[in-house]
Amino acid sequence: MFKRLFRRYIQSNISVINMKTRTWLIALATSAIIAVASIVGIFIYIKSSEIRTLKIASTSSLNDTGLLDAFEDAFEPKYGIDLHFLSTGSGIAMQNGKRGIVDLILVHDPKAESSFIQDGYGVCRKIIAYNFFAIVGPQTDPAKIQNSTPIQAMTRILEAGRNGIALWVSRADLSGTHSKEKSLWTTAGFNWSDIRNEVGWYKEVGQQMGQTLLMTYNMKIGGVPAAYTLTDMGTYLMFTKEGRINLPIIVGQGQELLNVYSVIAVSNTKYANVSFENAIKFIKYSISDEGQQLISNYGKEAYGQSLFFGAVNLLKNNTDPTLAEWIRNYAFLNGSECPLEYRDGHPELYS
Protein backbone atom coordinates (compact mmCIF):
# COMPACT_ATOMS: atom_id res chain seq x y z
CA MET A 1 0.00 0.00 0.00
CA PHE A 2 2.79 2.44 0.83
CA LYS A 3 4.47 1.67 -2.45
CA ARG A 4 1.30 2.46 -4.43
CA LEU A 5 0.67 5.75 -2.61
CA PHE A 6 4.19 6.99 -3.19
CA ARG A 7 4.06 6.09 -6.84
CA ARG A 8 0.76 7.95 -7.36
CA TYR A 9 2.18 10.99 -5.65
CA ILE A 10 5.27 11.05 -7.83
CA GLN A 11 3.28 10.49 -11.03
CA SER A 12 0.86 13.33 -10.24
CA ASN A 13 3.66 15.86 -9.77
CA ILE A 14 6.15 15.19 -12.57
CA SER A 15 4.36 16.42 -15.72
CA VAL A 16 6.98 19.13 -16.27
CA ILE A 17 9.90 16.78 -15.67
CA ASN A 18 11.57 15.17 -18.66
CA MET A 19 11.23 11.45 -19.16
CA LYS A 20 14.78 10.64 -18.08
CA THR A 21 14.48 12.53 -14.81
CA ARG A 22 11.00 11.16 -14.36
CA THR A 23 12.22 7.59 -14.71
CA TRP A 24 15.05 8.28 -12.26
CA LEU A 25 12.67 9.74 -9.67
CA ILE A 26 10.31 6.81 -9.96
CA ALA A 27 13.17 4.41 -9.44
CA LEU A 28 14.38 6.44 -6.45
CA ALA A 29 10.91 6.59 -4.95
CA THR A 30 10.41 2.90 -5.52
CA SER A 31 13.68 2.12 -3.73
CA ALA A 32 12.65 4.35 -0.84
CA ILE A 33 9.28 2.66 -0.64
CA ILE A 34 10.85 -0.78 -0.63
CA ALA A 35 13.20 0.32 2.16
CA VAL A 36 10.29 1.67 4.21
CA ALA A 37 8.28 -1.47 3.59
CA SER A 38 11.24 -3.58 4.70
CA ILE A 39 11.53 -1.63 7.92
CA VAL A 40 7.80 -1.98 8.53
CA GLY A 41 8.07 -5.70 7.79
CA ILE A 42 10.91 -6.11 10.26
CA PHE A 43 8.89 -4.24 12.90
CA ILE A 44 5.87 -6.45 12.27
CA TYR A 45 8.08 -9.55 12.46
CA ILE A 46 9.58 -8.44 15.75
CA LYS A 47 6.14 -7.72 17.21
CA SER A 48 4.85 -11.10 16.07
CA SER A 49 7.96 -12.77 17.49
CA GLU A 50 7.29 -11.19 20.84
CA ILE A 51 4.10 -13.22 21.00
CA ARG A 52 6.24 -16.35 20.65
CA THR A 53 8.61 -15.60 23.48
CA LEU A 54 8.84 -17.07 26.95
CA LYS A 55 10.44 -15.06 29.75
CA ILE A 56 11.96 -17.27 32.43
CA ALA A 57 13.47 -16.11 35.73
CA SER A 58 15.99 -18.74 36.77
CA THR A 59 18.36 -19.43 39.61
CA SER A 60 21.95 -18.54 38.77
CA SER A 61 23.31 -22.08 39.11
CA LEU A 62 21.36 -23.26 36.07
CA ASN A 63 22.71 -20.34 34.08
CA ASP A 64 26.32 -20.44 35.29
CA THR A 65 26.66 -24.11 34.40
CA GLY A 66 25.29 -23.62 30.89
CA LEU A 67 22.23 -25.84 31.37
CA LEU A 68 19.93 -23.03 30.29
CA ASP A 69 21.83 -22.73 27.02
CA ALA A 70 21.31 -26.44 26.46
CA PHE A 71 17.57 -26.00 27.05
CA GLU A 72 17.51 -23.08 24.64
CA ASP A 73 19.27 -25.05 21.89
CA ALA A 74 16.90 -27.99 22.27
CA PHE A 75 13.60 -26.22 22.95
CA GLU A 76 13.57 -23.25 20.58
CA PRO A 77 13.79 -25.10 17.24
CA LYS A 78 11.32 -27.72 18.43
CA TYR A 79 8.59 -25.26 19.44
CA GLY A 80 9.49 -22.02 17.66
CA ILE A 81 9.42 -20.17 20.97
CA ASP A 82 12.21 -17.77 21.85
CA LEU A 83 13.42 -18.29 25.43
CA HIS A 84 14.52 -15.19 27.34
CA PHE A 85 16.30 -16.07 30.59
CA LEU A 86 16.80 -13.74 33.53
CA SER A 87 19.40 -15.26 35.85
CA THR A 88 19.20 -14.33 39.54
CA GLY A 89 18.91 -16.03 42.89
CA SER A 90 15.69 -17.92 43.58
CA GLY A 91 14.36 -15.16 45.84
CA ILE A 92 14.75 -12.47 43.18
CA ALA A 93 13.35 -14.85 40.55
CA MET A 94 10.20 -15.22 42.63
CA GLN A 95 10.01 -11.47 43.13
CA ASN A 96 10.06 -11.08 39.36
CA GLY A 97 7.29 -13.65 39.14
CA LYS A 98 5.27 -11.73 41.72
CA ARG A 99 5.64 -8.59 39.63
CA GLY A 100 4.37 -10.39 36.53
CA ILE A 101 7.42 -9.52 34.44
CA VAL A 102 8.24 -13.16 33.64
CA ASP A 103 6.11 -16.08 32.53
CA LEU A 104 7.87 -18.89 34.36
CA ILE A 105 10.32 -19.40 37.19
CA LEU A 106 13.02 -22.07 37.67
CA VAL A 107 14.01 -22.13 41.33
CA HIS A 108 15.28 -24.27 44.22
CA ASP A 109 13.74 -23.03 47.45
CA PRO A 110 10.74 -25.24 48.38
CA LYS A 111 9.67 -23.19 51.39
CA ALA A 112 9.54 -19.96 49.41
CA GLU A 113 7.93 -21.77 46.47
CA SER A 114 5.10 -22.83 48.75
CA SER A 115 4.39 -19.21 49.68
CA PHE A 116 4.65 -18.15 46.03
CA ILE A 117 1.97 -20.64 45.05
CA GLN A 118 -0.30 -20.19 48.07
CA ASP A 119 -0.25 -16.40 47.57
CA GLY A 120 -1.70 -16.92 44.10
CA TYR A 121 1.33 -16.10 41.97
CA GLY A 122 2.23 -19.55 40.65
CA VAL A 123 0.57 -22.69 39.34
CA CYS A 124 1.51 -26.05 37.82
CA ARG A 125 4.66 -26.58 39.88
CA LYS A 126 6.78 -29.54 38.79
CA ILE A 127 9.92 -30.88 40.39
CA ILE A 128 12.32 -31.47 37.50
CA ALA A 129 15.83 -31.99 38.90
CA TYR A 130 18.01 -32.48 41.93
CA ASN A 131 21.61 -32.60 43.03
CA PHE A 132 23.38 -31.88 46.29
CA PHE A 133 24.92 -28.87 47.92
CA ALA A 134 28.41 -29.21 49.34
CA ILE A 135 30.48 -27.47 51.98
CA VAL A 136 33.83 -26.54 50.46
CA GLY A 137 36.86 -25.00 52.07
CA PRO A 138 40.65 -24.86 52.30
CA GLN A 139 42.87 -27.91 51.98
CA THR A 140 44.06 -27.42 55.57
CA ASP A 141 40.48 -27.63 56.92
CA PRO A 142 41.09 -25.44 60.00
CA ALA A 143 37.61 -26.18 61.40
CA LYS A 144 38.25 -29.94 61.18
CA ILE A 145 34.96 -30.78 59.50
CA GLN A 146 36.23 -33.69 57.40
CA ASN A 147 34.06 -36.83 57.89
CA SER A 148 31.47 -34.88 59.89
CA THR A 149 27.77 -34.57 59.13
CA PRO A 150 26.54 -31.31 57.57
CA ILE A 151 25.12 -30.16 60.90
CA GLN A 152 28.28 -31.04 62.80
CA ALA A 153 30.26 -29.18 60.16
CA MET A 154 28.27 -25.97 60.62
CA THR A 155 28.82 -26.14 64.39
CA ARG A 156 32.56 -26.68 64.03
CA ILE A 157 32.89 -23.86 61.50
CA LEU A 158 31.07 -21.49 63.85
CA GLU A 159 33.34 -22.47 66.75
CA ALA A 160 36.46 -22.12 64.61
CA GLY A 161 35.23 -18.76 63.36
CA ARG A 162 34.69 -17.46 66.86
CA ASN A 163 38.18 -18.68 67.71
CA GLY A 164 39.64 -16.67 64.85
CA ILE A 165 40.90 -19.56 62.73
CA ALA A 166 38.15 -19.89 60.09
CA LEU A 167 35.80 -17.77 57.97
CA TRP A 168 32.36 -18.43 56.54
CA VAL A 169 31.27 -16.81 53.27
CA SER A 170 27.52 -16.37 52.79
CA ARG A 171 25.93 -15.49 49.45
CA ALA A 172 23.41 -13.35 51.34
CA ASP A 173 21.45 -12.76 48.15
CA LEU A 174 18.03 -14.33 48.82
CA SER A 175 19.01 -17.30 46.65
CA GLY A 176 18.02 -20.91 47.19
CA THR A 177 21.57 -21.57 48.34
CA HIS A 178 21.30 -18.77 50.88
CA SER A 179 17.99 -20.20 52.09
CA LYS A 180 19.59 -23.62 52.47
CA GLU A 181 22.46 -22.12 54.46
CA LYS A 182 20.06 -20.46 56.88
CA SER A 183 18.18 -23.74 57.34
CA LEU A 184 21.45 -25.51 58.17
CA TRP A 185 22.24 -22.96 60.89
CA THR A 186 18.74 -23.39 62.30
CA THR A 187 18.98 -27.20 62.29
CA ALA A 188 22.36 -26.89 64.03
CA GLY A 189 20.63 -24.94 66.80
CA PHE A 190 21.78 -21.42 65.99
CA ASN A 191 19.91 -18.20 65.25
CA TRP A 192 21.06 -17.02 61.85
CA SER A 193 19.96 -13.44 62.54
CA ASP A 194 22.37 -13.35 65.46
CA ILE A 195 25.20 -15.14 63.66
CA ARG A 196 25.26 -12.75 60.73
CA ASN A 197 26.00 -9.87 63.11
CA GLU A 198 29.14 -11.50 64.48
CA VAL A 199 32.05 -9.38 63.28
CA GLY A 200 35.07 -10.93 61.67
CA TRP A 201 34.40 -14.53 60.72
CA TYR A 202 30.95 -14.32 59.06
CA LYS A 203 31.20 -12.64 55.64
CA GLU A 204 28.10 -11.63 53.68
CA VAL A 205 29.03 -10.92 50.06
CA GLY A 206 25.67 -10.50 48.27
CA GLN A 207 26.95 -12.32 45.17
CA GLN A 208 25.88 -15.18 42.93
CA MET A 209 27.49 -18.58 43.32
CA GLY A 210 30.45 -18.23 40.99
CA GLN A 211 31.64 -14.97 42.49
CA THR A 212 31.08 -16.31 46.00
CA LEU A 213 33.32 -19.29 45.24
CA LEU A 214 36.06 -17.01 43.92
CA MET A 215 35.87 -14.82 47.01
CA THR A 216 35.95 -17.86 49.30
CA TYR A 217 39.01 -19.19 47.50
CA ASN A 218 40.87 -15.92 47.99
CA MET A 219 39.97 -15.18 51.62
CA LYS A 220 42.77 -15.75 54.12
CA ILE A 221 43.68 -15.33 57.76
CA GLY A 222 47.30 -14.34 58.26
CA GLY A 223 48.00 -15.17 54.63
CA VAL A 224 46.60 -18.69 54.99
CA PRO A 225 43.39 -19.83 53.19
CA ALA A 226 40.69 -20.15 55.83
CA ALA A 227 37.22 -19.70 54.27
CA TYR A 228 34.34 -22.13 53.83
CA THR A 229 31.11 -21.75 51.91
CA LEU A 230 28.03 -23.67 50.80
CA THR A 231 27.84 -24.29 47.07
CA ASP A 232 25.61 -25.98 44.55
CA MET A 233 27.44 -28.84 42.86
CA GLY A 234 26.98 -27.69 39.28
CA THR A 235 28.66 -24.31 39.65
CA TYR A 236 31.38 -25.80 41.83
CA LEU A 237 32.33 -28.46 39.27
CA MET A 238 32.42 -25.93 36.46
CA PHE A 239 34.67 -23.48 38.34
CA THR A 240 36.92 -26.30 39.52
CA LYS A 241 37.36 -27.77 36.05
CA GLU A 242 38.16 -24.33 34.63
CA GLY A 243 40.89 -23.97 37.25
CA ARG A 244 39.36 -20.87 38.78
CA ILE A 245 39.25 -22.32 42.29
CA ASN A 246 40.98 -25.03 44.30
CA LEU A 247 38.53 -25.74 47.09
CA PRO A 248 38.00 -29.40 47.96
CA ILE A 249 34.58 -30.72 48.89
CA ILE A 250 34.93 -31.38 52.59
CA VAL A 251 31.33 -32.33 53.37
CA GLY A 252 29.21 -33.43 50.43
CA GLN A 253 26.91 -36.14 51.75
CA GLY A 254 23.75 -36.10 53.78
CA GLN A 255 20.03 -35.55 53.45
CA GLU A 256 20.44 -31.99 54.74
CA LEU A 257 22.38 -31.05 51.60
CA LEU A 258 19.70 -32.13 49.12
CA ASN A 259 19.05 -29.53 46.40
CA VAL A 260 15.78 -29.73 44.42
CA TYR A 261 14.83 -27.66 41.37
CA SER A 262 11.26 -26.86 40.38
CA VAL A 263 9.58 -25.08 37.49
CA ILE A 264 6.46 -22.97 38.17
CA ALA A 265 4.22 -21.10 35.72
CA VAL A 266 3.22 -17.57 36.71
CA SER A 267 -0.54 -17.48 37.16
CA ASN A 268 -2.47 -16.06 34.21
CA THR A 269 -5.31 -15.38 36.60
CA LYS A 270 -3.03 -12.99 38.46
CA TYR A 271 -1.45 -11.55 35.32
CA ALA A 272 -3.41 -11.84 32.08
CA ASN A 273 -0.43 -10.74 30.01
CA VAL A 274 1.80 -13.72 30.78
CA SER A 275 2.61 -16.22 28.05
CA PHE A 276 0.87 -19.02 29.88
CA GLU A 277 0.44 -21.52 27.05
CA ASN A 278 4.12 -21.28 26.20
CA ALA A 279 4.98 -21.74 29.87
CA ILE A 280 2.99 -24.97 29.96
CA LYS A 281 4.81 -26.15 26.82
CA PHE A 282 8.14 -25.56 28.54
CA ILE A 283 7.00 -27.43 31.66
CA LYS A 284 5.87 -30.36 29.53
CA TYR A 285 9.18 -30.40 27.71
CA SER A 286 11.19 -30.26 30.94
CA ILE A 287 9.36 -33.32 32.32
CA SER A 288 9.37 -35.26 29.06
CA ASP A 289 11.81 -38.09 28.47
CA GLU A 290 13.82 -35.81 26.20
CA GLY A 291 13.93 -33.00 28.73
CA GLN A 292 14.85 -35.31 31.58
CA GLN A 293 17.63 -36.90 29.55
CA LEU A 294 18.96 -33.45 28.70
CA ILE A 295 19.13 -32.65 32.42
CA SER A 296 20.67 -35.96 33.50
CA ASN A 297 23.24 -36.08 30.68
CA TYR A 298 24.34 -32.48 30.95
CA GLY A 299 27.97 -32.19 32.01
CA LYS A 300 28.94 -35.84 31.58
CA GLU A 301 31.21 -35.19 28.63
CA ALA A 302 32.78 -32.01 29.96
CA TYR A 303 33.03 -32.87 33.66
CA GLY A 304 32.99 -36.63 33.75
CA GLN A 305 29.75 -36.63 35.72
CA SER A 306 26.28 -35.17 35.58
CA LEU A 307 25.80 -31.75 37.12
CA PHE A 308 22.09 -32.37 37.68
CA PHE A 309 19.78 -35.39 37.76
CA GLY A 310 16.26 -35.65 36.41
CA ALA A 311 13.72 -36.15 39.18
CA VAL A 312 10.57 -37.13 37.29
CA ASN A 313 11.14 -40.88 36.87
CA LEU A 314 12.72 -41.15 40.31
CA LEU A 315 9.54 -39.84 41.92
CA LYS A 316 7.17 -41.60 39.55
CA ASN A 317 8.76 -45.06 39.69
CA ASN A 318 10.46 -44.84 43.08
CA THR A 319 13.68 -46.15 41.54
CA ASP A 320 15.67 -45.11 44.62
CA PRO A 321 13.18 -45.25 47.52
CA THR A 322 15.48 -43.52 50.02
CA LEU A 323 16.34 -40.62 47.74
CA ALA A 324 12.76 -40.30 46.54
CA GLU A 325 11.60 -40.07 50.14
CA TRP A 326 14.22 -37.41 50.86
CA ILE A 327 12.86 -35.33 47.98
CA ARG A 328 9.26 -35.80 49.10
CA ASN A 329 10.09 -34.81 52.67
CA TYR A 330 12.10 -31.79 51.61
CA ALA A 331 10.35 -30.44 48.52
CA PHE A 332 6.72 -31.58 48.51
CA LEU A 333 4.04 -29.07 49.50
CA ASN A 334 1.31 -30.55 51.66
CA GLY A 335 2.17 -34.03 50.44
CA SER A 336 2.38 -33.18 46.73
CA GLU A 337 4.76 -31.45 44.35
CA CYS A 338 1.76 -29.26 43.51
CA PRO A 339 -1.48 -29.44 45.52
CA LEU A 340 -4.57 -30.13 43.43
CA GLU A 341 -6.01 -26.62 43.77
CA TYR A 342 -2.92 -25.11 42.12
CA ARG A 343 -2.76 -27.33 39.05
CA ASP A 344 -4.86 -24.93 36.96
CA GLY A 345 -6.69 -27.60 35.03
CA HIS A 346 -3.59 -29.46 33.86
CA PRO A 347 -3.90 -32.96 35.35
CA GLU A 348 -1.79 -34.35 32.49
CA LEU A 349 1.28 -32.89 34.19
CA TYR A 350 0.76 -35.18 37.16
CA SER A 351 -0.40 -38.43 35.61
What architecture is domain 133-256? Answer: 3-Layer(aba) Sandwich (3.40)
Residues 6+ apart with CB under 8 A from 40: 2
Q: What amino acid occupies position 156?
A: R
Return the CATH class of domain 52-130+259-350. Answer: alpha beta
- Sequential pLDDT tens for the chain (351 residues): 332 233 233 333 323 333 333 333 334 343 443 443 344 343 333 444 444 899 999 998 999 899 999 999 999 999 999 999 999 999 999 999 999 999 999 999 999 999 999 999 999 999 999 999 999 999 999 999 999 999 999 999 999 999 999 999 999 999 999 999 999 999 999 999 999 999 899 999 999 999 999 999 999 999 999 999 999 999 999 999 999 999 999 999 899 999 999 999 999 999 999 999 999 999 999 999 999 999 999 999 888 889 999 999 999 999 999 999 999 999 999 999 999 999 999 999 998
Residue 63 burial (10 A CB sphere; 0-12, 13-18, 19+): buried
The 3-state DSSP class for residue 105 equals strand
Read off the pTM. 0.83
Residues 310 and 329: their CA atoms lie apart, in Å, by 17
Residue ranges, CATH 3.40.190.10, the chain = 52-130+259-350, 133-256
